[in-house]
Amino acid sequence: MVKHEEALRRLKIVEGHLRGIQRMLEEDQYCIDVLRQIQAVQSALNKVSTLILENHLNSCLITAVRGEDPEERERVLQEITEIFDAATRV
């Protein structure tokens, strides 16, 4: 739960940065400055993803791996594989 609170806090910061980028575009700011802000938002979102993934690995994945249901273990491991596949496609 603490990880989710940290992720939510970071997302609110990202939201503010996005509004700032919108303002920059409305005010016709220098393109490189806008791109730098976009990169900062992408980096912040990556950190949020990392926090959520760490939480998942340390809770849901461990519970499934220690559990008695082999189908559940396989399902959870497949989800992790799909997330990494999707991340490499971007």
Domain boundaries, the chain: 2-89
Q: What are the pLDDT digits (tens) for 43-61?
A: 999 999 999 999 999 999 9
Q: Please, are residues 79 and 70 in contact by the beta-carbon 8 Å criterion?
A: no
Q: Which CATH class is domain 2-89?
A: mainly alpha
Sign of torsion over alpha carbons 22, 24, 90, 6: negative
* Cα–Cα distance, 75 to 63 (Å, whole number): 12
Confidence of residue 88 (pLDDT cuts 50, 70, 90): confident
- Tell me the average pLDDT across 33-38: 98
Half-sphere exposure of 75 (CA within 13 A, CB side): 8
